[in-house]
Amino acid sequence: MQQRVDFTKHLDGLTHQHIAVVGVPFDAYSSFMRGSALAPPIIKAAFHSPSANYYSESLRALHPHDLIRWIGDMPIGEYEDIASYASQIVSTKARMLALGGDHSVSFPLVRATANAYGPLTILHLDAHTDLYDSFEGNPFSHACPFARILESGLAKRLVQVGIRTMTPDHKAKAERFGIEIIEMKDWKGQVTFSLEGPVYLSLDLDVLEPGLAPGISHHEPGGMTVRDVLSIIQHLPPTLVGADIVEYNPLRDQNDLTAMIAAKCLKEILDRMLH
């Protein structure tokens, strides 16, 4: 109980001008390998690493910054806690940037954000569509969040980029829901889509080529370069109201390489949210 009270105190003074960076240390719904619950403090440590600096590539200084609030990690006891804490954050109208955690956390995060801003345009970067109705008997598995998001009417548009594990069932579901999918085999290295309205970014780090980012649970060859992902982030509109970075698994990382990639992406997302 004290942890919950302490976390809530970090929300004092949040306004619509702030970006609230919050850790979501949850991986109980991972299907293959646990470990991503350990990610938030390690990503934050990489952000503050003396091996780099606090500037985005647009030369914006990100730390210290009056509008960026580091509000700690959610003290999660069970999955439903994520939605409760996320709702408390966005009720202040602060924009939420969450560090997961497995991809199951995106459903409650998106639900809270959509409740505050209305149906969202969602950009989803991932090797997987995460459209299973249920996986291993769990409809809230990290393989299912976008099925739940669409069924709940939280997205007016969903664009998925980097996909390379499509199944016939996923393809049929994508057609039924009108999902726009740019599979990795069709990616030309250029951002050809535009996003309007309140935008939410969900960045699963396994969208990257695993040889570049080993610290992920699902090594799916044939992925994006880091520069591909940064370019996509840098083309996001100023209407970015929320984001998550998920599926970093420190237990598989090498020399914190993937942590530094996650921190680099964090910097560029912060830059766009401050734009």
pLDDT bracket for residue 178 (50, 70, 90): very high
| pLDDT at position 1 over 70 | no
Residue-wise pLDDT for 87-101, tens only, equals 999 999 999 999 999
70 inside domain: yes
Can you give the CATH number for the domain in which 203 is found? 3.40.800.10
pLDDT at residue 2 tops 70:
no
Would 34 be classed as within a structural domain? yes
In a domain, 153, yes or no: no
The reply to whether 216 falls in a domain is yes
Average pLDDT of the residues of the chain: 96
**Closest listed residue to residue 126, CA positions, set 179, 169, 72, 89:** 179
**Total number of domains in the chain:** 1
Q: Measuring CA to CA, how many Å separate 209 from each of 42, 76, 96, 164, 265?
A: 21, 31, 27, 11, 15
- 123 within domain boundaries: no
Residue with tokens 């942890």: 3
Asked if pLDDT for residue 244 goes beyond 90, the answer is: yes
Core vs surface per residue 100-111: b (16+ CB within 10 A) or e:
bbbbbbbbbbbb
pLDDT in tens, 116-168: 999 999 999 999 999 999 999 999 999 999 999 999 999 999 999 999 999 99
**Residue 76 to residue 86: CA distance in whole angstroms:** 11
Distance CA 198, CA 158 (A): 12
pLDDT at 258: 98
Enumerate long-range contacts of 179-184, CB under 8 Å, 24 or more apart.
179/129, 179/131, 179/146, 179/150, 181/129, 184/127, 184/222, 184/223, 184/224
For residue 25, the one-letter residue type is P
Report yes or no on 101 lying in a domain: yes
Q: Domain of residue 36: give its range.
A: 2-118+189-273
In a domain, 169, yes or no: no
Give residue 112's Cα distance to chain centre: 14
Is residue 250 in some structural domain? yes
**pLDDT mean over 50-78:** 97
